[in-house]
Amino acid sequence: MTSPFEELLPSTQRALLHRIAVAQSEGRAPSFVGAVEREGQVVWAGSRSSVDAHVPDADTQYRIGSITKTFTAVLVLRLRDEGLLDLNDSLEMHLPGTGVGDVTIAQLLGHSAGLGAETQAPWWERTPGSLRPELADVLGEEPRMHPVGRRHHYSNPGYTLLGSLTEVVRGASWEEVLQREILEPLAMDRTSTQPRPPHAGGWAVHPWADVMLPEPVEDLGLMAPAGQLWSTAADLCRFAAFLAEGDDRVLSAASLEEMRTPSVPPEAGEWDSGYGLGLQIVRKDGRTLVGHTGSLPGFLAGLWVSVDDGVGAVALANATSGPLAGTVAADLVRIVAEAEPRIPEPWRPLPEVDQALLDLTGPWYWGASSFGLRLLADRGVELQPLRGTGRGSRFAAAADGTWTGLDGYYAGETLQVVRRENGSVSHLDLGSFVFTREPYEQGDAIPGGVDKEGWRGLRM
């Protein structure tokens, strides 16, 4: 048996360092930090700097911008899981008087509430939050840009509303709730709303000359839940592992899977990306990545996780523009996943089997299309097409003897065994679709009936 936490191979480490070195050099960033976690443990971290005497490391704070939104989304999902609200509730039910109270909490989480991308002028990222003391100052006189629920339109003010919602329901500030419910349980003691040494300074690099300009650091006030946080590569690796596996002290694996599920169609022409509940979703290099990117004047950040590979990566830079931190983080995931793929768990037989369930396995037919049913752990089953592509899903066993779809086309649908009067199995019913043991089996199971002459050839 080998440990999943073995040190990365020297060739892998060099490839990772080379990637961030290229990013820092070609992107002209004053400094750049990258880190990789695998199966919940930081397995590599590296950095590059324009100043040899001030080289950052995985414990150096950078501002992470909109990655903050994912933290805010976790706080809202916690409220849902505790029964304090429902994601389909209107905002007005919990935060009255905003003027946009008809939007739902889920629409705010998934950026489909139709709200504008930014606040009213002046530019909120470079001005103090004290200029926007009330939600009305954030939303402005015409906050709606699109019909509610019709399209994805990224909205920073939408996450301000979610932060204020959290404060009202919890009876405490967003910062206090964040500290208590996420940062402390996950031991993210280097993540904060204000910078703590050692931290990087934010810079703008001139587009046509190798000179720099310092960027202001503003307290964003009410906009904090959309982009206030400072963090480190090490802390964000902990958060990446949490996003992949869950932690019942913070949020269950099931709720995180819900966050990772696309909530609305992507923008036109962006079919390789989507948005869940506080998480961006991209398809890159043949793998699905979930996480978020972030930026504020002087800083760029990217965090991506491949749940299937068990690998997450973070990239941080202290430049307003230039290095593509999100692209670099995705490349770090790819380098590790391809160079040192995950070792699968050994196959093990089920500890026990119910003969009645075992009798259900094997081929079934939806009309003339063939499917295979196989047993999973905990009395679950999987139904998949046997030829080509088609509708398939995994199903979890329910207490009443039925199964509920977990994924794919039949997610949420009910699969049940229909028996004859003598107790023998007639067919499977899946959301009204009938699966029989033979293609278009004779009998009463198939709606509309089956021609009594049965299958036949074509006489010429």
Cα dihedral sign, 398-400-403-404 = negative
Cα(61)–Cα(296) distance, rounded to whole angstroms?
14
My answer on whether 409 and 297 are in the same domain is no
Contacts of 85 (CB under 8 A, 6+ apart): 76, 79, 93, 94, 105, 169
Domain-ending residue, one of 276, 309, 339 = 339
Give the pLDDT confidence of 54-88 residue by residue, as tens digits: 889 999 999 999 999 999 999 999 999 999 999 99
Q: Terminus-to-terminus CA distance in the chain, angstroms?
A: 65
Structure tokens at 327: 């692209």
Q: Which residues contact 130 (CB under 8 A, 6 or more apart)?
A: 219, 221
**0.75 exceeded by the pTM?**
yes
Q: 339, 369, 391 — which closes off a domain?
A: 339
Same domain, 372 and 332: no
Are 121 and 85 contained in the same domain?
yes
Determine the pLDDT at residue 270: 59
Q: Note the pLDDT of residue 254.
A: 93
Percentage above 90 pLDDT, the chain: 81
The DSSP output letter for 104 is B
User: What pLDDT sits at residue 149?
Assistant: 86
pLDDT at 296: 96
What span, in angstroms and rounded, lies between the C-alpha atoms of 86 and 166?
A: 13
Q: What domain range includes position 394?
A: 355-435
Last residue of a domain, one of 315, 339, 363: 339
Q: What CATH code is carried by the domain that includes residue 371?
A: 2.40.128
CA-CA-CA-CA torsion sign (356, 357, 363, 366): positive
377, amino acid identity: A
Left (φ > 0), alpha (ψ -120 to 50) or beta: where does 278 sit? Answer: left
The C-alpha torsion from 230 through 235 and 238 to 240, rounded to 10°, is 40
The arithmetic mean of pLDDT across residues 78-102, rounded, is 97
Residue 295 three-state SS: strand
Question: For the segment 106-128, what is each residue's pLDDT rounded down to a tens digit?
Answer: 999 999 999 999 888 888 888 88
Same-domain check for residues 238 and 360: no
The answer to whether position 450 is within a domain reads no
Q: Are residues 366 and 284 in the same domain?
A: no
Q: Confirm whether 398 is domain-assigned.
A: yes
pLDDT band at 267 (very low <50, low <70, confident <90, very high): low
Among the ranges given (149-153, 230-234, 319-323), the one the predictor scored with the smallest mean pLDDT: 149-153
- Indicate the number of domains in the chain: 2
What confidence score (pLDDT) does residue 284 get? 92
175 occurs within a structural domain = yes
| Separation CA 429–CA 51 (nearest Å) | 67
Rounded to an integer, what distance in angstroms lies between the CA atom of residue 322 and that of residue 217? Answer: 19
Residues 170 and 131 in one domain: yes
pLDDT computed for residue 119 by the predictor: 87
Q: Give, as one character, the DSSP assignment of residue 366.
A: E
| Same-domain status, 364 and 229 | no
User: Dihedral sign, CA of 145, 148, 150, 151?
Assistant: positive
In this prediction, residue 1 carries a pLDDT of 33
380 Cβ neighbours under 8 A, 6+ residues apart? 394, 395, 396, 397, 403, 406
Domain identity same for 78 and 107: yes
Across the range 436-444, mean pLDDT stands at 93
- Whether 275 and 414 map to the same domain: the answer is no
